[in-house]
């Protein structure tokens, strides 16, 4: 279990009062339906879609998490539509928590669902904390993943050592003041890998309190090159993933 107390819960309702900028979708999953929300720019200008994974389900993590929301917002500013969804047992998603195994299968089901609706499009896979663990587990298991984005990957809490390193470009965001996932632990883990991510270090705690705008600005600057490389794969589309 996470070394986390009630003062450190991921607040799953923290964005509940905001107007949804996309639309609610229901996706078939291996344990039943999965609840998702799209977020799209006015026009899709790139040949990619982002899938964004939330933090730990047992500690309040949902698709409404602020870090997840800002990752979605950043992708939209790059002209890329996104989908954030609730893992099994969260919100209206069926099933029960499965320590990352079943959540990986949830993720793969969502990736297949996206691929059916955007055939030929690249998929960016992003996750925060527990979501970063699931994203890292999933990255090598789907052929359309073209970029991995992990925020505060919990390398001290889950077994990353037995997982394959990603073959796609990879960006890692870490808070230097992270009290749950120490920056030194993440750095030591990265040093053991055969690949190196593009790293973004911020003066932030695990929850990035007060650092959301800084995180977004750093991401926009870092990912602009990736977007340029993707280019426009076809005519701009109306924003919809359903």
Phi, psi of 99, rounded to the nearest 5 degrees: 60, 25
Q: What is the mean pLDDT of residues 79-107?
A: 97
CA-CA distance, 224 to 226, in Å (whole number)?
5
Supply angle C-alpha 134, 109, 106, rounded to 5. 40
CA-CA distance, 211 to 148, in Å (whole number)?
21
- Looking at per-residue pLDDT, the higher value among 123 and 227 belongs to 123
Supply angle C-alpha 9, 12, 44, rounded to 5. 130
CA-CA distance, 167 to 91, in Å (whole number)?
33
Q: pLDDT per residue over 174-183, tens digit each?
A: 999 999 999 9
3-state secondary structure of 82: strand
Supply angle C-alpha 126, 14, 203, rounded to 5. 60
- Looking at per-residue pLDDT, the higher value among 15 and 89 belongs to 89
* The predicted structure's pLDDT at residue 92: 97
Q: pLDDT per residue over 116-151, tens digit each?
A: 999 989 999 999 999 999 999 999 999 999 999 999
Q: What is the mean pLDDT of residues 19-48?
A: 84
CA-CA distance, 201 to 61, in Å (whole number)?
23
pLDDT at residue 236 greater than cutoff 50? no
């Amino acid at each position: 279990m996470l070394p986390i107390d009630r003062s450190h819960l991921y607040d799953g309702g923290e964005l509940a009062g905001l107007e949804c900028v996309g639309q609610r979708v229901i996706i078939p999953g291996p344990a039943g339906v999965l609840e998702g929300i799209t977020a799209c720019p006015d026009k899709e200008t790139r040949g990619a879609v982002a899938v964004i994974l939330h933090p730990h389900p047992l500690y309040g993590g949902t698709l409404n998490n602020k870090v997840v929301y800002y990752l979605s917002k950043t992708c939209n500013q790059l002209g890329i539509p996104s989908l954030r969804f609730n893992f099994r047992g969260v919100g209206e998603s069926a099933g029960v928590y499965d320590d990352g195994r079943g959540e990986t299968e949830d993720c793969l089901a969502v990736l297949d669902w996206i691929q059916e609706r955007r055939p030929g499009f690249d998929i960016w896979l992003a996750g925060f904390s527990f979501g970063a663990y699931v994203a890292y587990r999933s990255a090598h298991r789907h052929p359309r993943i073209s970029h991995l984005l992990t925020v505060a990957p919990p390398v001290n809490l889950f077994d990353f050592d037995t997982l394959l390193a990603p073959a796609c470009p990879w960006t890692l965001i870490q808070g230097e003041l992270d009290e749950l996932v120490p920056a030194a632990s993440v750095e030591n883990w990265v040093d053991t890998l055969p690949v190196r991510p593009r790293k973004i270090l911020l003066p932030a705690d695990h929850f990035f309190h007060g650092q959301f705008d800084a995180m977004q600005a750093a991401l926009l600057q870092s990912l602009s090159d990736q977007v340029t490389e993707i280019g426009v794969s076809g005519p701009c589309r109306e924003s919809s993933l359903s």
